Structure 1
Amino acid sequence: MNDLLPTHLDIEQAAKAVYAAMPATPQYSWPLLNVALGTEAWVKHENHTPTGAFKIRGGLVYLQTLAQLPQARRVRGVISATRGNHGQSVGFAARRYGIAATIVVPEGNSKEKNAAMQALGVELIEHGKEFQESREHAAMLAERDALHMIPSFHRDLVAGVSTYWMELLRAQPDLDVLFVPIGQGSGICAAAAARRALNVRTRVIGVVSAHAQAYKLSFESRSKIESPVSTLIADGMACRVPDDASLAVILDQVDEVIAVSDNEVADAMKLYFTATHNVAEGAGAAALAAAMQIRHRLQGQRIGLTLSGGNVDHDMFAQILCRPDAEEQQQQALADNRRVA
């Protein structure tokens, strides 16, 4: 995997591009989360970046490389597909380096994420019923219009994202395990790269949506498997087709992959707000959802969680805050059963 993962030097070079545009994000151990989990947890707050998600780091590094090409090799514009956070990353970095950017999103994509991308100056195109169709359309437009297609996974993207895992693991080098959501793989591959760069023994557990299990099924079978997507809340993990390069790294580097349901993710989003007053989008809360699911296995361990993004539409978040807690739901179900009996 040496050719797919950035080296320690690659990550240090990437950090220069990242920190020229934004500061490091904080990591906190929140008492109420520790009580809920029954162990010591450290949350890396990537919801505190200028775009509200970790993706900005990779975009800054990738587009800086493009901007530094000799004049004869410079691109006329870039294009990519996204459900939102990757697109904001591209938009932020493209504006910084003076490059035109086009983003393709699925039909019915988050209105607030669409608005955020447009505010960064991207040309937004809606096409397809899900991410894979959007990506295929973006590839067609790249060929037709001679645009540079930014992939969902690339060594430069991973190098940029690795900077946040380096921040966390340098601040807390004795973490026993990291929980990392899997979308197209840059986040979890970056965690593996940082672990290797710092030579720590921290286990890496990947998290997928139970309603988008391509990476989990592929991890378990040790081969690429497509799987349908039906998640209504974790759009950042709505992957139908695994990326070949990221899957190769995951098979080599990741210790375990866990699936979390939309209900578990919603509970985690609400818990983040009630325990820390931080807003988490679906994928952003997935790491916490997974830790809550296996908390009986975590007693006595120190764990790392990424709150990888906070870009959730306000209507959805309002509904989540108003839903009963998991314990309240269980009590209501018991009461309903008693009435039926």
Structure 2
Amino acid sequence: MTTVTLDDATTLPTLRELEDAASLVHAVLPPTPQYAWPLLAARCGTEVWVKHENHTPVGAFKVRGGIVYMDALRRARPDVVGVVTATRGNHGQSVGLAAARAGLRAAIVAPHGNSVEKNAAMRALGVELLERGHDFQAASEAADALADERGWHRVPSFHPLLVRGVGTYALELFRATPPLDAVYVPIGMGSGACGVIAARDALGLRTSVIGVTSTAAPAFARSLAAGAVVSHESTTRIADGVACRTADPTALAVVARGAERVVEVTDDEVEAAMRALFADTHNVAEGAGAAALAALLQERDRMRGRRVAVILTGGNVDTDVFARVLAA
């Protein structure tokens, strides 16, 4: 198993590094839009901008990190022939797309019972998909073993290069909107939230960053409260993109330092937000993708009259699941 490292994992990327990453990302995909939707504003009682990361070639923000990570890997380790990672779907699609562009083989490990349509999307990118374990953590441990067995490079779920890549969506957002009072961003392993914090700090803004986790996947929130990594099983039925059992300590340190607070949302609130996004914007959001709006709706009285952004991190929800949510 090979590694790509940086000297200090808690050091956030500079503006120049984010702009260099944006050049790499924009060679593959254009900047995604951010729109202020009037119906959402009426629903939330505040000006609401939605950053549409559901509009990338893989339907989620993760692709940005994969592009930047794989570029660095190719330059640092030209001898690498294959990569291995673990995923619930969006990270795997990111690695699959980026690996194919770099001429590398990719083996992706997902837990049993993973999204059927996310699995199909990964296979369509040419990856070797293996199902191992009952949750993401078990799949991650299986990916470690597979990388050792094959001698392939193990792509982590959180890494400063991934933060540098996904931080480009926040750079786009902050430069395209009027000054924002707050940004709500979902937290799984933490690259998205850390990317928003990095872009805000690099631009010298005072925008509050508010992380969002699930009450049914509380490992990150509990770890933040405890000041140390606390593992906890996930039981979320809808927000698989934030369903980590063990938080990353580097992400914890960055969020503890750079976020104003973390809001926990229920599965019912997430599903209500999925319906709201479809009704008010006609955009499809997966569970984790709707979590930011769910948090804003929970805090609508607190945020009334302010200018707020929510990150719609992805739209990769299975058809039957989305149909059930809409019918509720």
TM-score by length of 2: 0.96
Matched, 1:17 2:24: yes
Deviates more, 1:293-302 or 1:218-227: 218-227
Structure possessing the higher radius of gyration over alpha carbons: 1
Report the 3-state secondary structure (helix = DSSP H, G, I; strand = E; otherwise coil) of the residue aligned with 1:192.
helix
Matched, 1:53 2:60: yes
Alignment RMSD: 1.1
Matched, 1:119 2:138: no
Which position in structure 1 is the counterpart of 2:133?
128
C-alpha distance in 2, partners of 1:186/1:197?
16
Letter matched to residue 294 of structure 2: A
Matched, 1:63 2:87: no
Letter matched to residue 162 of structure 1: G
Report the 3-state secondary structure (helix = DSSP H, G, I; strand = E; otherwise coil) of the residue aligned with 2:230.
coil
Which position in structure 2 is the counterpart of 1:263?
268
Letter matched to residue 142 of structure 1: A
The Cα shift of 1:250 comes to 1.1
User: Counterparts in 2 of 1:150-161, with a 5 A limit?
Assistant: 150-161=155-166
Which position in structure 1 is the counterpart of 2:211?
206
**Pick aligned residue for 1:105 from 95, 101, 110:** 110
Report the 3-state secondary structure (helix = DSSP H, G, I; strand = E; otherwise coil) of the residue aligned with 1:297.
helix
Report the 3-state secondary structure (helix = DSSP H, G, I; strand = E; otherwise coil) of the residue aligned with 2:76.
coil
Deviates more, 1:243-252 or 1:188-197: 243-252
Report the 3-state secondary structure (helix = DSSP H, G, I; strand = E; otherwise coil) of the residue aligned with 1:179.
strand
**Pick aligned residue for 1:216 from 214, 221, 234:** 221
C-alpha distance in 2, partners of 1:91/1:24?
20
**Pick aligned residue for 1:6 from 2, 13, 31:** 13
Letter matched to residue 164 of structure 1: Y
Letter matched to residue 108 of structure 1: G
Identity %: 55
The Cα shift of 1:165 comes to 0.1
C-alpha distance in 2, partners of 1:259/1:70?
40
Which position in structure 1 is the counterpart of 2:4?
none
C-alpha distance in 2, partners of 1:178/1:247?
18
Matched, 1:162 2:170: no
Q: Is the 8 A contact 1:76 1:146 kept in 2?
A: no
Query: In the comparison of the two structures, how many residue pairs are matched?
Result: 321
Q: What is the CA deviation profile of residues 93-137 of structure 1, one whole-angstrom value per residue up to 9, with x for unaligned ones?
A: 111111100000000101100000000000000000000000001
C-alpha distance in 2, partners of 1:142/1:2?
22
The Cα shift of 1:70 comes to 5.7
Which position in structure 2 is the counterpart of 1:190?
195
Letter matched to residue 17 of structure 2: D
Q: Is the 8 A contact 1:173 1:200 kept in 2?
A: no
Which position in structure 2 is the counterpart of 1:33?
40
Q: What is the CA deviation profile of residues 218-242 of structure 1, one whole-angstrom value per residue up to 9, with x for unaligned ones?
A: 1222222111210010000001100
Report the 3-state secondary structure (helix = DSSP H, G, I; strand = E; otherwise coil) of the residue aligned with 1:312.
coil
Matched, 1:149 2:149: no
Deviates more, 1:177-186 or 1:213-222: 213-222
Gaps of 5+ in 2: 1-7
Letter matched to residue 279 of structure 2: T
Which position in structure 1 is the counterpart of 2:84?
79
The Cα shift of 1:4 comes to 3.0
Matched, 1:225 2:230: yes
TM-score by length of 1: 0.92
Report the 3-state secondary structure (helix = DSSP H, G, I; strand = E; otherwise coil) of the residue aligned with 1:68.
helix
Which position in structure 1 is the counterpart of 2:3?
none
